[in-house]
Amino acid sequence: MLDNPKFQCENYTNALGRIEKLVDSQSFSQIGAYIASDNVVAGFASIDTRPCYIYSQYGPVTLNHASKIARIYKMAIAMGAPVISILDSEGIHIESGLDVLAAYGEIFATMSEASGVIPQFSLIYGKCMGANAVISGLSDFSFGLKDSKLFIQSPNTAEDIKSVGVDEFMSSSYHFKESGQLHFLFDNSEDLNVGFREFFSFMPSNNLEEAPVLVGNDVPSDEIPISANMSAAQIVGAICDNGEFVEISASYGAEVAAFFTRFDGYTALCAVNNGDISKASIAKLVKLIAFCDAFNIPIVTLANAKAFKTDVEQQKNAISDIASLSYVFTNSTVPKINIVTGDAIGLAGLVFNSKFIGADVVYAWPEANLSLFSSQAKKVLNAPDIGTEQALLKGYVDEVIEPSLTRKYVIRAIDNLSTKRISRHPKKHGSFCF
C-alpha cells in the first residue's frame, strides 16, 4: 500500500471521523483516497441502510479538491442518492490563481446539475468562507453549529458593519434567525448528527422515488381534540403520525411555521400560517414548495392569512415576493391540500394555497372567515359579508369540517391524490432557484 502522509494528518483524521460518526457503522468507503493535496475526504456510505454520497473538508479548496467533489456529485446523480457536504474550510490557496475559480466553477456546475434530481445537504462544522459558502447556498438544506461561521466576503469590508457587529454578521445564529440560510442550528456535533439523521428519514433519495413510508402509528384517524388557540407545533403534533415532525427554519419567517411530517406513513410538508405574512416567511415557503414539487412531496397548509406586513422594509420587494409565492403554488403539481383554520382574506388568502391558484382540496373549520375584505375594511367600504357562504356555494371550499376531524380528512385527501399526474411543461428545479 502506498505510504501517504495525509493519513497521519490530524485534520484528515477529524474530517474522516465526522463522516464515520454520522453514517451507519463501517458503511463508509473512500473514493480517491490517495490523491495528493485535495484537502477533502469523500466517498459513499449509508444512513439507516439508505445509500448516500458524502464528503468532508479539512483544508483550503484546490483543483483536486473540487474534482473529487464533482465526481461525488456525478456518481450520486447516476445512482439516485443524496449528497451530504461537511463544510469546514477557510477558503482558497491564493497562490493557485485562476485554478481556484475553475475549482469552484466545477463544484457549482455539478451541484446545479443535481438540483431537483437528488437532495443536497450541507453540514457546517467550522468556517465556511467566501465561495465555499455558496456550496451551502446551492444545497437544499443547511445545518450548522452555534460556533460555526458563514459568510461570502469578510464582514470587515462592509461599510455599515458597525450597525450589526462583525461577529454577529458572520455567526451561524445570524444566518439561522436573520438570513434564513441555515435551516437548523445545534449546540454540538452530536446533536447535529442526531437531528440530521431524523430529518434524513423524511427525505426521498431522488426525484423518482417516494420518501420512506413508515407504517404503524399510534394516532387514531377519528376525532382528535384541537383548538384554534393551539400553537402551530401543537396542531401539527396532534394531526400527524405519532406526533413526530421536524420544523424547518424555526426562527426565520416565523409567521409561517413549516414542518416535515407524516400522514399515515407518507412524508408531507405541513405549513401553518397565523396572521400577517412577512417577506421572510414567503422566502422560506417558496423554497420549500419548490423542493417538494421537485421531489414529489405533498403539501398541506393550515391557513389563517389576514394580510401582508406593510412596513417600508417589507414593501420593498413585496410585488416580486407575492408573485413568487403565487407562482410556486400555481405551478407545483404535487398534491395540495388547504385547511382554512381562521381568516383567508383578500390577496393573502388568495396566494396561500387557495382553490383559486390550484389547491386540489380545500376544507374550512366552522369559524373560518373567507372574505375579500377584513372586518374593518368592510365597515369602511360598507361591503356585504358574503365571503364564506359564497365560497361554499361556488365550490371554492369543498367542505366544512370539525377541527377534531382534520387528520382524518387530510389522510383521506392525500390517499385520493396519491396518483395525481400533471405535466404542464418540462421543468426541473431545486429549492434555491427563486
How far does CA 62 lie from the centroid of its chain? 29
Single out the residue of 351, 344, 348 nearest to residue 330, CA to CA. Answer: 351
Q: Average pLDDT, whole number, for the chain?
A: 88
Report which residue type is found at 283. Answer: A
Q: Please check the confidence at residue 157 and state whether its pLDDT lies above 60.
A: no
User: What pTM did the predictor assign?
Assistant: 0.91
Confidence of residue 390 (pLDDT cuts 50, 70, 90): confident
CA distance 313 to 101: 35
* 3 state SS for 336-360: EEEEEEEEEEHHHHHHCCCHHHCCC
Confidence of residue 218 (pLDDT cuts 50, 70, 90): low
**Is the distance from CB of 72 to CB of 42 less than 8 angstroms?**
yes
Give 3-state DSSP helix, strand, coil % of the chain, rounded to 5.
40, 20, 40
pLDDT value at residue 166: 56
DSSP string, 96-154: GTHHHHHHHHHHHHHHHHHTTTS-EEEEEEEEEETTHHHHHHHSSEEEEETT-EEESS-
DSSP state of 155: G
**Is the distance from CB of 115 to CB of 433 less than 8 angstroms?**
yes
- Higher pLDDT pick, 141 / 371: 141
Considering the domain delimited by 216-416, tell me its CATH architecture: Alpha-Beta Complex (3.90)
Collapse the DSSP code of 84 into the 3-class scheme (helix H, G, I; strand E, B; otherwise coil) and give the result. strand
**26-30, 131-135, 160-164, 242-246 — which is least confidently predicted?**
160-164
CA distance 308 to 110: 37
Non-local CB neighbours of 178 within 8 Å, separated by 6+ positions: 252
The three cell numbers of residue 267 are 412524508
Q: Please check the confidence at residue 380 and state whether its pLDDT lies above 60.
A: no
The three cell numbers of residue 67 are 474534482
Ranges of each domain in the chain: 5-199, 216-416
DSSP string, 416-427: HTTT----SS--
pLDDT value at residue 6: 78
The three cell numbers of residue 14 are 477529524
pLDDT value at residue 375: 54
Q: Please check the confidence at residue 168 and state whether its pLDDT lies above 90.
A: no
CA distance 309 to 144: 29
Strands 120-129 and 399-400: unpaired
pLDDT value at residue 212: 94
**Is the distance from CB of 320 to CB of 291 less than 8 angstroms?**
no
The whole-number average pLDDT for the span 232-255 is 96
- Fold observed for domain 5-199: 2-enoyl-CoA Hydratase; Chain A, domain 1 (3.90.226)
H or E stretch covering 6: none
Q: Please check the confidence at residue 285 and state whether its pLDDT lies above 50.
A: yes
**61-65, 144-148, 310-314, 406-410 — which is least confidently predicted?**
310-314
CA distance 296 to 121: 18
CA angle 287, 56, 52 (to 5 degrees): 60
Non-local CB neighbours of 427 within 8 Å, separated by 6+ positions: 331
Q: Please check the confidence at residue 185 and state whether its pLDDT lies above 90.
A: yes
Strand ranges, E, within 161-306: 184-186, 245-248, 256-263, 266-273, 299-305
- Higher pLDDT pick, 134 / 98: 134
Question: Which residue reads 381534540 in cell numbers?
Answer: 225
Q: Please check the confidence at residue 10 and state whether its pLDDT lies above 70.
A: yes
CA distance 150 to 313: 24
Residues 339-348 pLDDT 10s: 999 999 999 9
pLDDT value at residue 407: 95
Residues 44-103 pLDDT 10s: 999 999 999 999 999 888 888 888 999 999 999 999 999 999 999 876 666 666 887 888
Residue 330, classified by CB atoms within 10 Å of its CB into exposed (0-12), middle (13-18) or buried (19+), is middle
Q: What is the largest CA-CA distance in the chain?
A: 85
The whole-number average pLDDT for the span 139-146 is 97
The whole-number average pLDDT for the span 193-205 is 98
The three cell numbers of residue 68 are 473529487
CA distance 307 to 374: 9
Domain pair 5-199 / 216-416, same fold: yes
DSSP state of 42: E
pLDDT value at residue 143: 98
Confidence of residue 386 (pLDDT cuts 50, 70, 90): low
